[in-house]
Structures are given as structure tokens and as C-alpha cells.
Amino acid sequence: MNLIEQHRIGGAFSWGRDGHNAAEKGVRLPNLSAFESPDQDVTLDRAHSAFTHSSGNYPLLATDRVDEERFPRGHYNMGLLWDHARIVDTPSRLVFPLRYVQRQEIGGGIPDQPRRVTPRRPAQFQLRDGEQIRWTWDKGVLSGRAEVEGDTVTVTDVPLVSGVPYKLLEFYK
């Protein structure tokens, strides 16, 4: 996993408590050999969206992911889909076309998906601690401001509804 991250290659991984097994007893994950949508891609050199506090947001080194006390188990982006080719990342705008497919009752003590969305790894759209960022959802149906905390800004009011077509989440300065 560290080599995948070092060379900025997208991938899907899971790790279980049962040692070197393909599955963990009591945990129901989908097939991780393919992304959930042909539009979706993960490259570590391009912005993408993530569930807030998902286990994919931290830590920076895969070797630290086994420290469950500091980094609790959870999802990466299972069910949060984006159209990778349509992501916009400029100094003044960051736009994610998003869809949602609800995943629940994964088992093994893994909680249901959160419903808050955080942008990850923007290259051009710089986030500065304490800065107020404006956002809109679905071409202005909802809008507001969110404060950058550290290197993260989170929108708590996006109504993720399972199965609806792509809608735009836009951050702008």
C-alpha cells in the first residue's frame, strides 16, 4: 500500500483483524477489485471527495493504519461516487460531481457511512487554516460557508440521497 501511495496509483484496499485472509468474519464488504462506477478514479495527485473522518483520510502512512486507537476503523469512500473527469480544481474553484449509494450494516463494528463530505488533495485550490470557504450544492439549491480547520474543510449540510444522478458540490473563494 505504501508503494501505491508513493507512486500515486489509485487503488482499493481493505484490512482485517483475521491476519492474511481475503475476508474478515462478520464483515460484509463489496468486491474491491473494481471501483463502484466507471466514472470514478482515485489518483493521489488529483483532488477527490471523501467522507469526513473516513479511514482513508488519515494517517498518511499505511503502516500507521493498524493503530486503531489513534485511527479508528471505518470506510474510505465506499458509496461516495464522483465523476473523476469532471472534477475542477483551480485556485478559485473546486467542483466535485457526486453521487451516493448508501452502504449500511457492514458489520464487524464498522459504523454506517457518515453523511459529511470533505475535499481531499486539491492541487490548485489551497486551503488555509481559519479561512472561510463558500460552497454550493446542486447548482445553488443549497449554499453556505465552512471554515477550514487545519488542511480540511467540511460541508455538513449536503443531502446525500442514495441513487440520484450526479449533483455538483462546489467550493469557491
pLDDT in tens, 140-160: 999 999 999 888 888 888 888
pLDDT higher than threshold 80 for residue 67: no
Distances (CA, A) of 62 to 5, 66, 73, 142, 149: 8, 8, 13, 36, 23
Q: What is the mean pLDDT of residues 156-165?
A: 87
The structure's pTM equals 0.75
d(CA 72, CA 77): 15
On whether the CB atoms of residues 49 and 79 are closer than 8 A, the answer is no
Burial of 5-18, coded b for 16+ CB within 10 Å and e otherwise, reads eeeeeeebeeebee
pLDDT higher than threshold 60 for residue 37: yes
Q: What is the mean pLDDT of residues 64-90?
A: 78
My answer on whether omega of the bond before 38 falls inside 30° of 0, hence cis, is no
With bands split at pLDDT 50, 70 and 90, how would you rate the model's confidence at 26? confident
Q: Which residue has the cell 469526513?
A: 52
